[in-house]
Amino acid sequence: MDATTSGTPTVQYHNIPDQPLTAIVAAPVSAFLRQVRHCFGDSTPGEFPLAANPSIVLHATCSFFRQPANFAPDYELSISELAALDMCQRRAIFKPMTDEERQSLKHRCGGSWKLVLRFLLAGEACCRREKSQAIAGPGHSIAVTSSGAVYSFGSNSSGQLGHGNTEEDWRPQQIRSLQGIRIIQAAAGAGRTMLISDAGRVYAFGKDSFGEAEYGVQGTKLVTTPQPVESLKDIFVVQAAIGNFFTAVLSREGRVYTFSWGKDSKLGHKTEPNDVEPQPLLGALENIPVVQIAAGYCYLLCLACQPSGMSVYSVGCGLGGKLGHGSRTDEKYPRLIEQFQLLNLQPMVVAAGAWHAAVVGRDGRVCTWGWGR
């Protein structure tokens, strides 16, 4: 029978006595017992200060920064690598490089953007790129302003001042034909000058040769105004160095190329004295980036940037011990100068005179070698 018709409810109701709220809240609850852990120092029990164990902090920090940051352009880069790449992109030489060129440079520097950044900063430090500089040659001098203007003065028998004539000028005069071209580097040699623009182009004037034969053969044509070196148009050059028998240039990727002095393969190749085609410097530096070059009368110094630190290589004529190997032996291929490791000296700048050389270390020490008379 339906409950509604019978009038008898099927659900029974029970009266629940009212209880004050305090009685409910005051119900016994097991108190939280703070576990006491042993820790270092005078910290409150239960607290574990990170400073108590620096190795844990270092491990946690390094692990965090080694993890992929998940940021463009490379989502696999760690935070530290991403920061290094960002700083690289702010460097003037790095900006115009294509992605392929950047990856090639990264591989050449050791596979890390942090190593690429160190390579770029080392080059800026020793070559004063983007800053004013003065270069003293055997008979003339060149001054480059921070804005890229070039002034020259001194001897001008071969047109090495770049003013369109062969008249000597003993006061600095601006090279007017370079207006509109920003120069960042210059090199002065015996009777010739080379300038490097911010676009990596090379301009040469003076003797119409990149080197002289041992018997004094020179170029028959004098160039009295800066002219682009067409054989280097496909190489982004950042520095040049002029010796007596050869000329060398350094690319932004840290590769060294030489002109002339192929006689007896003194620079690892055989070419004519007036050869205008660049020859890559072979041997130990083929896969090691170079940040600076310096040319003496008949030898070349290269400051290389490696993951283990900075190092100096020398090649050419060893007469007078100017190659720094403790002997007078010629070197046809670049050879590491090991003495700096024994001296615990980190080379930062190299300089080559006619018959002697010098290196400035990170700690300010200066080392010299070669003929001292």
The pLDDT value recorded for residue 257 is 93
The pLDDT value recorded for residue 67 is 55
Q: Are 73 and 81 in contact (CB under 8 A)?
A: no
The pLDDT value recorded for residue 215 is 37
The pLDDT value recorded for residue 348 is 93
Per-residue tokens: 210: 């990149």
Tell me the per-residue pLDDT of 82-91, one tens digit each, with 9 for 90 and over: 889 989 999 9
The pLDDT value recorded for residue 308 is 87
Per-residue tokens: 323: 């190659």
The pLDDT value recorded for residue 131 is 79
Which residues of the chain, if any, have pLDDT below 50?
A: 1-6, 9, 11-14, 21, 24-25, 29, 32-41, 48, 50, 56-60, 64, 212-218
Q: Are 159 and 224 in contact (CB under 8 A)?
A: yes
Per-residue tokens: 76: 């696999």
Per-residue tokens: 185: 């580097």
Rounded CA-CA distance 196/150 in Å is 11
The pLDDT value recorded for residue 335 is 95
Residues contacting 104, CB < 8 A, separation 6+: 253
The pLDDT value recorded for residue 102 is 93
111: left (phi over 0), alpha (psi -120 to 50) or beta: left
Q: Are 139 and 188 in contact (CB under 8 A)?
A: no
Contacts 24+ apart (CB under 8 A), 362-371: 362/310, 367/339, 367/340, 367/343, 369/321, 369/322, 369/324, 370/320, 370/321, 370/322, 370/324, 371/320, 371/321, 371/322
